[in-house]
Amino acid sequence: MRGIRLLAVGALIVAPLTLSASSAEAALTPTVPTCGMTITHSVKLTSDLTCSSGPAILIGPETTPIIVDLGGHTITSTDSTAYAIEGLTTIRNGTIRAAYIDHEPSGTMTLQHMVIDGGETSVTFGEIDAYNSTFIHDAALYGSGASIDAEHDVFIGGSSPYTFALGGFQTSVTAVADTISGYDTGVSVWDTDSGVHLSGNHIERNRIGVSTGGGGLTITAGSLSKNIISANSGDGIFLGSGNTLTISGNTLSLNGGDGIHIDTTDSVSYAAIHLTMGGNKALMNAGWGVEVTGTEPTGLTVTDGGGNIAKQNVNGGCSAGIACT
């Protein structure tokens, strides 16, 4: 994918630890941005910035929090090396377009009230938090050995058939009250001890809504609760081997495949599937409400939490072993 790359290491920080809200605002230095500049203290940009080569802005390295307030301005670059971001950094109140961000070696990157226009925002062995932000034209948050927390964000995909909005390898993903549409897969997570936690999201009009596990890789903890997963062209939720999840209170409707599809392949030879399911509604999907397939069904354990409903699905309600009415 084109665009923004964030590499981060560190502990969670949403706002400066040492400054009150009023003193933090007072500490923002009005700054005219220039291509290749280095920022070592909190600033508020006073104009747009467009760069065609080299790093647009370098932040840090610093051991104390830095705020970069874009002040409603836009930073644009077509250079794949455009942004090197280091330290404990909050970027807020503006637009970043067609650029890479490299966030290392320490700290948490926090995006607040941002528009991320195009590209992949990735974090390795660290954390990225996104709050009240909008991601468009296939912009995505990707992690490797990392942590992602996205809350009250909007993700709108585009032309790429291979993207997902949130996810990664050995990465924990938390998504709360997000809207995700137009991607190949809305949320895709595999092989993580910290799991996936999705609550109160609208995940609609992707190819697959949510995909976790599979290939012998494990999701050792997680929950999918009170999400609306609808009108995806394939399955609403696809679960592979290695999932240990509580799935509760979700509505899965009008998907082009199953509401929930459970693939038991590798669930004996690699990693079993343990699910607790209750209070879900699978309605008017083009496949099953809940379907179980795969070559190793004995690797699947489902605890019935009660209240699962599957109605008006084309192929049927629920596969054998899944309780629903």
Q: How far apart are the first and last CA of the chain?
A: 42
Higher pLDDT pick, 135 / 62: 135
Question: Over 90: is that where the pLDDT of 98 sits?
Answer: no
* Tokens found for residue 122: 């990735």
Third-level CATH fold of 166-325: Pectate Lyase C-like (2.160.20)
What mean pLDDT comes out for the span 157-176? 86
pLDDT attached to residue 109:
86
d(CA 192, CA 170): 4
State the Cα torsion 209-92-49-42 to the nearest 10°. -150
E strands, 21-88, are 29-31, 37-39, 43-45, 49-51, 57-59, 66-69, 74-77, 83-85
Between 6-10, 60-64, 161-165, 184-188, the lowest mean confidence (pLDDT) is in: 6-10
Q: Please work out, in degrees rounded to the nearest 5, the angle formed at the alpha carbon of residue 158 by the alpha carbons of 156 and 160.
A: 130
Q: What percent of the chain has pLDDT over 70?
A: 82
* Tokens found for residue 179: 């809207």
Q: How confident is the model at residue 106 (pLDDT cuts 50, 70, 90)?
A: low
Instruction: Parse the chain into domains and list their residue ranges.
Output: 1-160, 166-325
Asked whether the beta carbons of 51 and 76 are under 8 A apart, the reply is yes
What mean pLDDT comes out for the span 13-37? 66
Higher pLDDT pick, 258 / 6: 258
DSSP element (H, E) containing 275: strand 273-278
d(CA 319, CA 52): 55
pLDDT attached to residue 19:
44
What mean pLDDT comes out for the span 182-202? 89
Asked whether the beta carbons of 179 and 201 are under 8 A apart, the reply is yes
- Output the average pLDDT for the chain: 85
Asked whether the beta carbons of 176 and 203 are under 8 A apart, the reply is no
Question: Over 60: is that where the pLDDT of 100 sits?
Answer: yes
Higher pLDDT pick, 67 / 59: 67
Q: Which residues contact 198 (CB under 8 A, 6 or more apart)?
A: 173, 174, 175, 176, 187, 210, 223, 224, 225, 227
d(CA 76, CA 99): 7
Please give the model's pTM, rounded to 2 decimal places.
Answer: 0.88
The CB density around residue 52, as the number of other CB atoms within 10 Å, is 11
* Tokens found for residue 247: 């799935």
What mean pLDDT comes out for the span 258-267? 93
d(CA 233, CA 208): 7
Asked whether the beta carbons of 144 and 124 are under 8 A apart, the reply is yes
Question: Over 50: is that where the pLDDT of 198 sits?
Answer: yes
Question: Over 70: is that where the pLDDT of 23 sits?
Answer: no
